[in-house]
Structure formats: structure tokens, C-alpha cells
Amino acid sequence: MLPNLIIIGAAKCGTTSLHRYLGQHPDVWMAQPEGTQLKAMRFFWREDWRERLHWYEAHFETDRPIRGEATPAYTAYAFHTGVAERMHEVIPDAKLIYLVRDPIARTVSHWVQRRADEDPTPFERYMQDYERPDNPIVCPSRYWTQLQQYLRFYDPSQILIVDQHDLKTQRRETVREVFRFVGVDERFDSPEFDAERNTRESKHGPRRLAVKLWEPVIWPSSRAVPRRVRDVIRAPASKVLLGPIREAPVLTAEMRERLREHFKPEVEGLREFTGKPFASWSL
């Protein structure tokens, strides 16, 4: 059994919520890695994906007609490469859902997520090389570049583009559009559709002191501790080192304008392909 539906991204565009909404439908099975609370299977970016194919298949043993997964970083070229080609080799007939949002807002939100994932890198450092093809928080906002990776292998009719703004402000209409695309009863409704998942308010990251001590003290010290000991102290250490993410990345007017020019052709390509105006976006 293999999936016939993939939410390919983009990160910080409502993929966690849509994964949950789809999973409520009686005809849809949305997988998650065994033994985790995460949604992302993180399969097609792996170099050893062929060797792990049976592991991947085991997550879709269901009698429901629609079997799906969601891995936002499937649209993070060139940070991850070869994803679309591998996916097409395994599931060429799958339907793909690509969520997008204002690319500048998405980039800022991605930094908050990385901070929550215990990446201490300052936002300013990422902005110093924002033009790098593999910049991990910028490349997912290059929507047309990401989409082109899939259009090399998949017919446009197999790809649905969803604006996160629509999912947020016109949720049930947007979910019905997704159900129609997937091929299940669009009339299905659920109280779960009222909830949003993986919001900024739920994020925690390294406290300021932890950031300062990360490279000179915490990281080298943690590597010297045996794994079994790290497993025991991880939870209490996290309470000390992590706290709510209150800081907002400082995006200067100059940097914002540079990003606008950088993302402009990406947004134009997406608008031309979809015919959608994305009117709520800042560019």
C-alpha cells in the first residue's frame, strides 16, 4: 500500500491543520511516523529511500480509498534535492496539495519554527545570504521554483494550490475544495475544522542565555554525555533552556524591499500558473 495523496508543503502555510482536517474524513487516512506526534514522514528526501520503502508502505495499510501524508519540506529545493523525481518514481499517479502564503511572512514564520526546533541561528544571519539557493528559510518561499520541480514529472491537473489565507478565512469552503480535488464527499463536516494547529503561540525555543552558551558550552558538553544519559535529562533540561518565543525577527525596510524583489518573479510565476490573484499578499 502506498499513498495516493501528498501535502508537499510549503512549511508554515497550514499543513499541520490541513493534515488534521483531511484525517477527519471517513474516506481519508493521513499517516504519521510510528511512535511520534509529528505529521511529516520525511521519506522522499532521504538518500536511503529505496531501502526504507517497506517502512514507508507500512504506514498506509488501510482500507480507506485515500491514503495521504504531509511533509512540508518536500518543497524546499535546493536545501533538499531530488524529491519530486523520487516521488514520481514511486507514486506517479498521486495527487499533490501545495499550500502557499505571503512569501515574506512565511519566511519570518519559518525562522520562528527553526528557533522552536532549537536552532539558535539569528534571523539576521539567514538574511545575510538570502539569495543562496539552499537557504533553509528562504528557499521554501520560492514557490514557482518549487512548483517547477514537480511540473517536470506531474501533470498540472494532479496539483492543487491552496492559499493559506483562504484556509484561514474561508476554511470550510477551502476544505470542501480540497475534498473535491481528492475525490471524497465534500459535504463532510467536523468540529475539528474550527481548530488551528501548530500556531506561533504554541512555539517554544532556546532562552536568550541558552543561545549565548549554545556553541561555546551547551553543544560541546552535550556531545560528551552518553546518549542514555541525554535521554534521561532531555525533558528537565528543556524546561530550563527553552521558553516561549517572544522575540519577533527584525526585518528592516531595506531587507523587506530586497525580499520583495527577490520573490517577485516567484509570485508572478505562481499567479500565471494558477490564475489566482493572492490578493492578501504584500507583493
Pairing mode of beta strands 159-163, 95-100: parallel
Q: What is the pLDDT of residue 98?
A: 98
* Domains of the chain, residue spans: 5-199+248-274, 204-244
Going by pLDDT thresholds of 50, 70 and 90, the confidence category of residue 202 is very low
DSSP state of 96: E
pTM of the model: 0.84
Q: What is the 3-state secondary structure (H, E, C) of the chain?
A: CCCCEEEEECCCCCHHHHHHHHHHCCCEEECCCCCCCCCCCCCCCCCCCCCCHHHHHHHHCCCCCEEEEECHHHHCCCCCCCHHHHHHHHCCCCEEEEEECCHHHHHHHHHHHHHHCCCCCCHHHHHHCCCCCCCCCCHHHCHHHHHHHHHCCCCHHHEEEEEHHHHHHCHHHHHHHHHHHHCCCCCCCCHHHHCCCCCHHHCEEECHHHHHHHHHHHHHHHHHCCHHHHHHHHHHHHHHHEEECCCCCCCCHHHHHHHHHHHHHHHHHHHHHHCCCCCCCCC
Q: Reply yes or no on whether the pLDDT at 247 is more than 80.
A: no
CATH architecture of 5-199+248-274: 3-Layer(aba) Sandwich (3.40)
Going by pLDDT thresholds of 50, 70 and 90, the confidence category of residue 36 is low
Q: Decide: 66 and 27 in contact? Cβ < 8 Å.
A: yes
- How confident is the prediction for the chain on average, in pLDDT? 88
Residues 66-98 have pLDDT tens digits of 999 999 999 999 999 999 999 999 999 999 999
Q: What is the pLDDT of residue 245?
A: 56
Radius of gyration of the chain measured on its C-alpha atoms = 20
Q: Which residues contact 173 (CB under 8 A, 6 or more apart)?
A: 166
**Three cell numbers written together for 54:** 517497506
Widest Cα–Cα separation across the chain: 56
Percent of the chain with pLDDT over 90: 74
Q: What is the pLDDT of residue 249?
A: 86
Going by pLDDT thresholds of 50, 70 and 90, the confidence category of residue 14 is very high
Q: Between 234 and 85, name the one with better pLDDT.
A: 85
Going by pLDDT thresholds of 50, 70 and 90, the confidence category of residue 115 is confident
Q: Which amino acid is at 194?
A: D
Going by pLDDT thresholds of 50, 70 and 90, the confidence category of residue 203 is very low
Going by pLDDT thresholds of 50, 70 and 90, the confidence category of residue 120 is confident
Q: Between 215 and 12, name the one with better pLDDT.
A: 12
Residues 157-191 have pLDDT tens digits of 999 999 999 999 999 999 999 999 999 999 999 99
Q: What is the pLDDT of residue 39?
A: 84
